[in-house]
Amino acid sequence: MNLHETRFDSPCGELLVVTRDGRLVGLGFADGDGRLRRSIGRRFGVAPVSGPAPADVTRALTAYFDGEIAALDGLEVNAGGTAFQQRVWRALRRIPAGRTVAYRDLARTIGAPDAVRAVGAANGANPIGIVVPCHRVIAADGALHGYAYGLDRKRWLLRHESAIA
């Protein structure tokens, strides 16, 4: 198994980029208290070794942070997870940049209108932040809630995408 980790400097903090056989399997902030590494360890049973990220991943992240928000849309990802989590994560990738959705609306989108809490839990378990844009999910009243890497980063990402003023 070719599981590699590299670091990527972004305007809102250093990212850990984890790939397996050229596909993105993890993306999170390096100062995230080991959250991403624990997730990867549980999923694969091994820690990634240091290695370069595939050029397409690096190019897409660079373009995204340079303002080409849609640059991440074409990246291939393999987030793992349960069937329910995968449904939520696929729905997250369909939220257009510059838009936000409420947890309850996301639950409706995946055909599980009574599963708002489960949608929130799946959103929080997302191992591929930014590319699988869990930061685009907000409370029904428009408030920013629940981002594993902090509300300041969530706010930064949404402003970067022009989702909030």
Name, in order, each residue with C-beta under 8 angstroms of 39's C-beta and a sequence gap of 6 or more.
26, 125, 127
The amino acid occupying position 9 is D
Contacts of 2 (CB under 8 A, 6+ apart): 19, 20, 21, 22, 51
Spatial separation of the C-alpha atoms in residues 22 and 42, rounded to whole Å:
20
At 145, the amino acid letter reads: H
User: Cα–Cα distance between 131 and 139 in angstroms, integer?
Assistant: 20
Check 92, 134, 148, 157 and give the catalytic one. 134
Q: Give the Cα-Cα-Cα angle 97, 100, 101 (nearest 5 degrees).
A: 130
Whole-angstrom Cα distance, residue 120 to residue 148?
A: 12
Active site residue 134: yes
CA distance 65 to 10: 7
Q: Catalytic site residues?
A: 134
